[in-house]
Amino acid sequence: AQSVTQLGSHVSVSEGALVLLRCNYSSSVPPYLFWYVQYPNQGLQLLLKYTSAATLVKGINGFEAEFKKSETSFHLTKPSAHMSDAAEYFCAVSDQSNFGNEKLTFGTGTRLTIIP
Amino acid sequence: DTGVSQDPRHKITKRGQNVTFRCDPISEHNRLYWYRQTLGQGPEFLTYFQNEAQLEKSRLLSDRFSAERPKGSFSTLEIQRTEQGDSAMYLCATPARGTNTGELFFGEGSRLTVL
């Protein structure tokens, strides 16, 4: 079974500071990995995805993530936080070999707060 | 602008009542997913459809829950005899068009509050 663990349910950073949200995955097969963002009372929006091409993945809103197989990690970063980045962030994994089934397994989420 | 429309966005009901949520993908796709998200948690898989066929159901989907996709386009999720533990956001999703890399496109969700 696949799973993801997000370390830190709450992260606070100052505006302009580095954002680092941690995600570790567990998968017996090559995974697809995703980061989604959720604003209050809204659905989930895809930030970026890893699909076995480049290990450094760039997404929307200045976010990026690096796939590290040796560390089973897919941490999300942004060099400089903006107030608009305040939201809940979810890491998710799916099975590359399970073609035709996009079932995602999500982590418990990290709430990002930006301090003015 | 989401590619998945969900209705209603909010529903408040009393314990024991039945509720139904509807999901309308704007662009038809043969697969459609339902997830549940409780407060402070990540979304949890409930079920998915390939056209009209319901191919997989989570053990979270008790016998009070039923999902249908009668014409392979829109889908409904009904909860009978609601309980307070059913309070959650119910999310519908379809695969992103033009990709085969496993990503899902989510609707805005239907938030259920059971009093």
Q: What pLDDT is recorded for position B99?
A: 63
Of the candidates A25, A21, A23, A7, the one whose C-alpha atom is nearest the C-alpha of residue A95 is A25
Query: Does the beta-carbon distance from B108 to A46 stay under 8 Å?
Result: no
CA distance B28 to B37: 24
Indicate whether B27 pLDDT > 90: no
Instruction: Give A2's pLDDT tier (boundaries 50, 70, 90).
Output: confident
B15–chain A nearest CA distance, Å: 23
Q: Which residues of B touch A (CB under 8 A)?
A: 2, 4, 31, 33, 40-45, 48, 50, 56, 91, 95-96, 100-109, 111
> Which residues of chain A lie closer than 8 angstroms to B5, CB-CB?
none
Indicate whether A42 pLDDT > 90: no
Which stretch of A24-33, A72-81, A107-116, B105-114 has the lowest confidence by average pLDDT?
A24-33
Site from B7, B101, B111 to mutate, A interface, most A CB atoms within 10 angstroms: B101
Percent pLDDT > 90 in chain B is 72
Q: Any bridge partners for residue B79, and if so which?
A: B19, B65
Of the candidates B4, A72, A53, A50, the one whose C-alpha atom is nearest the C-alpha of residue A63 is A50
- What is each CA distance from A94 to A49, A108, B71, B101, in whole angstroms? 11, 15, 27, 9
Q: Any bridge partners for residue B110, and if so which?
A: B90
Query: Does the beta-carbon distance from A102 to B104 stay under 8 Å?
Result: yes
Query: Does the beta-carbon distance from B40 to A102 stay under 8 Å?
Result: no
What's the average model confidence in pLDDT over A26-43? 88
Indicate whether B1 pLDDT > 90: no
Query: Does the beta-carbon distance from A102 to B109 stay under 8 Å?
Result: no
For B107, the closest of A43, A100, A101 (CB atoms) is A43
Task: Give pLDDT tens digits for B95-109.
Answer: 877 666 678 999 999
Percent pLDDT > 70 in chain B is 95
Query: Does the beta-carbon distance from B48 to A34 stay under 8 Å?
Result: no
Pairs across A and B, CB distance < 8 A? 67
Report yes or no: A37 and A65 within 8 Å, Cβ to Cβ.
Answer: no
Query: Does the beta-carbon distance from A102 to B108 stay under 8 Å?
Result: no
Task: Give pLDDT tens digits for A69-109.
Answer: 999 999 999 999 999 999 999 999 987 666 667 889 999 99
Q: What pLDDT is recorded for position B71?
A: 84
> Which residues of chain B lie closer than 8 angstroms to A109, CB-CB?
40-42
A7–chain B nearest CA distance, Å: 13
